């Protein structure tokens, strides 16, 4: 390793090893959060400057998207040095300062760990591709061509085309689930696993509280290299790739979500457990088996603590029936697993546009669905700017940076629209993000949603997030309780959250028209205040105006 780890002294008081259960995690895309050195790109010092904002919002932790050294072909998801910070974002000392300030403010720090693949300029891959007999020859997934020179099988890349690229030096194909510049590591090689666990320990020693594990179900492939079977057209709904991509035509049973992965996750969890309260959340990209994979990877207490699938990150609009179905389905397959739910992130169209367009009152709609998200059983991820109601930016082709979007333009415009800079000051140049030209444009329509326009306005979406997160912290049932659904119809959804002797009833109307929910008259219910919604209890019936919610405690 190029940089020595720095052992961080931790408080003597026993930490809460269970802090992650029900935690609210605020995702930061570092290129777009705050630029501190006027180069148009966000950085670690910029994040440090804005940490008080996140603490004031009420989050428990931050997840920082990749900032390790990288050629930036996929904006940090192609790592060339796992143990150093890319100069674009700062230095290891800057990261140490970020950890210290976050901890001072009571925030946990989770970093994005991208270990399914590296950049093709990583020293490991340079050595691996140099010959078939070097010490790292088997560190990546290599295979011979078929007799006719074509790739070993029919596996496809999410970024388009074959998942195999020809290497002239080794006269073999190497596997890449994403860009050709992102060769996949061979997790069947124990040395590869050991090296990646050493990387993980490096960051734990610096004081990191946990990790978001990119593409956690892509680590292993079938060593038999069997062809993936075709999917019937009606089942081609993979949310990890756009509909214009034939990747969706296959059932990916041989190139991801392999059973061998559980063994590595147990090794990973054993390492985490050496530290006072380290935790991990995995990204599961598998539309055919997503919730089952989440259950498999988080069950037993000896794998990762939590995972998220794409059930609420999909284009399909959230609805009362879908919420009930997803939560109940997960409850059936996961006896002791734990999910982390999100409506937006750096890979999907922002939900303010994806779902909010066409609603009679978009701000009111965003308030009620955010309250729903923060009331579900599971942990929560909030993506930077969703607390402001930022919409998906409609960028011109010449402004695109995302290779995924450039590849599938114009039918699919890529991920740049959700990655535009955070807006802090409506009157400042570039919304207060940078004094230089930003790496992506700041949409004019975002300036009216900037932090300075919403802070202190009780009716704003930002103040709603702050208010509701404070309300949520008052009742432990929201973070750690069980969930039981109450019968409701139409756009209404209701459930109770039970923890110890406390049971909270939560009722939501996701539509513009009024709704009622019959709670029955079996137990007395005390209405709760402090959440900002105007629903009312009339006998055993909850009456909700459009986009309203109600909360009560069962006696």
Q: Give pLDDT, residue 238.
A: 65
CA distance linking residue 522 with residue 23, whole number of Å: 32
Q: Judge whether residue 91 has pLDDT over 80.
A: yes
| Element containing residue 110 per DSSP (H, E) | strand 108-113
Q: Is the pLDDT of residue 237 over 90?
A: no
Helix ranges, 436-537 (H): 444-447, 451-454, 461-474, 477-480
Residue 3's pLDDT is 45
Q: Under CATH, what is the fold of the domain 24-117+190-472?
A: TIM Barrel (3.20.20)
DSSP letter string over 137-200? TTSB-EEPPPTTS--SS--B-TTSSBSEEEETTTTEEEE-SS-TTSPBB-TTSHHHHHHHHHHH
Query: What is the rounded CA–CA span in Å between residue 238 and residue 313?
Result: 11
Q: What is the mean pLDDT of the segment spanning 404-416?
A: 92
- Nearest alpha-carbon partner for 344 in 353, 357, 335: 353
**245 burial type by CB count under 10 A (0-12 exposed, 13-18 middle, 19+ buried):** buried
Per the annotation, the verdict on 274 as an active-site residue is yes
Residue 344 near residue 351, CB atoms below 8 Å: yes
Q: Which of 130, 112, 139, 127 is CA-nearest to residue 203?
A: 112
Task: Say if residues 497 and 520 touch (Cβ distance below 8 Å).
Answer: no
Which has more confidence, 483 or 5? 483
pLDDT of 120 strictly over 60: yes
Average pLDDT estimate for 436-459: 98
Catalytic residue among 9, 12, 148, 274: 274
- The label of the residue with tokens 């699938």 reads 309
Check residue 245 and give its pLDDT.
Answer: 84
Question: Considering the chain, what is the average pLDDT of its residues?
Answer: 95
Domain parsing of the chain, residue ranges = 24-117+190-472, 481-554
Contact status, residue 391 vs residue 353, Cβ threshold 8 Å:
yes
Q: Is beta strand 24-28 parallel, antiparallel or unpaired with respect to 61-64?
A: parallel
Confidence at 12, pLDDT banded by 50, 70, 90: low
Residue 332 to residue 485: CA distance in whole angstroms? 14
Confidence category of residue 243, pLDDT binned at 50, 70, 90: confident
Q: Are 118 and 125 in contact (CB under 8 A)?
A: yes
Task: Supply the CATH classification number for the domain 481-554.
Answer: 2.60.40.1180
Average pLDDT of span 382-409: 96
Catalytic residue, candidates 184, 214, 255, 503: 214
Q: What Cα–Cα distance (Å) separates residue 436 from each residue in 38, 87, 203, 404, 430?
A: 5, 18, 32, 26, 8
Kindly state the average pLDDT of the residues 63-90.
98
Domains 24-117+190-472 and 481-554 share a fold: no
Tell me: pLDDT of 239 over 70.
no
More confident residue, 210 or 411: 210
Which residues in 137-166 are b (16+ Cβ under 10 Å) and which e? Answer: bebbbbbeeeeeeebbbbbbbbbbebbbbe
181 counts as catalytic = no
How far apart (Å, rounded) are the C-alpha atoms in residues 385 and 46? 16
Mean of the pLDDT values across residues 126-152? 98
Residues 6+ apart with CB under 8 A from 64: 28, 30, 47, 109, 110, 111, 112
User: How far is CA 73 from each of CA 79, 139, 414, 416, rounded to the nearest angstrom?
Assistant: 10, 21, 14, 14
**Residue 185: which of 157, 218, 162 has the closest Cα?**
218
Task: Give the pLDDT confidence score for residue 1 in this predicted structure.
Answer: 43
Cα(26)–Cα(337) distance, rounded to whole angstroms? 22
Burial class (CB in 10 A: 0-12, 13-18, 19+), 360: exposed
pLDDT for 142-189, tens place per residue?
Answer: 999 999 999 999 999 999 999 999 999 999 999 999 999 999 999 999
Q: How many residues does the chain have?
A: 555
Q: Is the pLDDT of residue 94 over 70?
A: yes
pLDDT at 256 over 80: yes
| 208 pLDDT tier (thresholds 50, 70, 90) | very high
536 — pLDDT class (breaks 50, 70, 90): very high
- Bridge partners, residue 27, by sequence: 63, 383
CB neighbour burial string for 430-450, b if at least 16 within 10 angstroms, e if fewer = bbbbbeeebbbbbbeebbebb
What percent of the chain has a predicted confidence (pLDDT) above 90?
92
Query: What confidence tier does 2 reach under pLDDT thresholds 50, 70, 90?
Result: very low
pLDDT at residue 518 tops 70: yes
Q: How high is the pLDDT of residue 130?
A: 98
User: Which residue has better confidence, 234 or 490?
Assistant: 490
Residue 74 has pLDDT above 60, yes or no: yes
Structure confidence by residue, pLDDT tens digits, 314-355: 999 999 999 999 999 999 999 999 999 999 999 999 999 999
Query: Under a CB-based contact definition with an 8 Å cutoff, are residues 151 and 164 in contact?
Result: yes
Tell me the two tokens of residue 75.
Answer: 């904006």
pTM: 0.96
Mean pLDDT of 231-246: 79
């Amino acid at each position: 390793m190029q940089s020595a780890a720095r052992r961080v002294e931790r408080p003597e008081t026993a930490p809460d090893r269970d802090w992650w259960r029900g935690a609210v995690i605020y995702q930061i895309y570092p290129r777009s959060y705050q630029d501190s050195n006027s180069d148009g790109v966000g950085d670690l010092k910029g994040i440090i400057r804005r940490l008080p904002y996140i603490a004031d919002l009420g989050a428990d932790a931050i997840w920082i998207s990749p900032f390790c050294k990288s050629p930036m072909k996929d904006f940090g998801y192609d790592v060339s040095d796992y143990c150093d910070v890319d100069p674009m974002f700062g230095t290891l000392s800057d990261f140490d300062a970020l950890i210290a300030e976050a901890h001072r403010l009571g925030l946990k720090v989770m970093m994005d760990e991208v270990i399914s693949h590296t950049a093709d300029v990583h020293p490991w891959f340079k050595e691996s591709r140099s010959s078939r007999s070097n010490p790292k020859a088997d560190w990546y997934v290599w295979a011979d061509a078929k007799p006719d020179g074509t790739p070993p099988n029919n596996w496809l890349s999410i970024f388009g085309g074959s998942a195999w690229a020809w290497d002239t030096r080794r006269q073999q194909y190497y596997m890449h689930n994403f860009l050709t510049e992102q060769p996949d590591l061979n997790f069947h090689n124990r040395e590869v696993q050991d090296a990646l666990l050493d990387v993980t320990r490096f960051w734990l020693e610096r004081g990191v509280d946990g990790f978001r594990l990119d593409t956690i179900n892509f680590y292993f492939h079938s060593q038999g290299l069997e062809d993936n079977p075709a999917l019937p057209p009606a089942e081609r709904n993979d949310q990890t790739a756009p509909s214009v991509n034939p990747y969706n035509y296959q059932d990916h049973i041989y190139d991801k979500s392999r059973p061998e992965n559980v063994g590595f996750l147990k090794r990973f969890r054993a390492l985490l457990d050496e530290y006072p309260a380290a935790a991990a959340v995995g990204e599961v990209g598998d539309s055919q088996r997503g919730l089952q994979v989440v259950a498999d990877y988080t069950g037993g207490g000896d794998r990762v603590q939590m995972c998220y699938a794409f059930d609420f990150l999909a284009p399909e609009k959230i609805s009362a029936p879908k919420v009930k179905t997803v939560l109940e389905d997960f409850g059936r397959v996961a006896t002791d697993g734990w999910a982390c739910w999100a409506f937006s992130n750096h890979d999907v169209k922002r939900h303010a546009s994806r779902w909010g367009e066409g609603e009679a009152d978009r701000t009111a709609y965003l308030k009620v669905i955010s309250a729903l998200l923060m009331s579900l059983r599971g942990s929560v991820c909030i993506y930077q700017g969703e607390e402001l109601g930022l919409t998906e930016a409609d960028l011109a082709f010449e402004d695109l940076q995302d290779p995924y979007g450039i590849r599938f333009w114009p039918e699919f415009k890529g991920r740049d629209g959700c990655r535009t800079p955070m807006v802090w000051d409506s009157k400042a140049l570039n919304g207060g993000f940078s004094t230089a030209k930003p790496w992506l444009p700041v949409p004019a329509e975002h300036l009216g949603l900037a932090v300075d326009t919403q802070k202190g306005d009780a009716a704003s979406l930002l103040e709603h997030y702050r208010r509701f997160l404070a309300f949520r912290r008052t009742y432990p049932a929201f973070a750690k309780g069980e969930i039981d659904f109450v019968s409701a119809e139409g756009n209404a959804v209701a459930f109770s959250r039970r923890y110890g002797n406390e049971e909270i009833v939560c009722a939501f109307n996701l539509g513009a028209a009024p709704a009622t929910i019959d709670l029955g008259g079996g137990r007395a219910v005390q209405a709760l205040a402090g959440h900002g919604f105007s629903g009312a209890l009339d006998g055993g019936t909850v009456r909700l105006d459009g986009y309203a919610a109600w909360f009560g405690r069962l006696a």
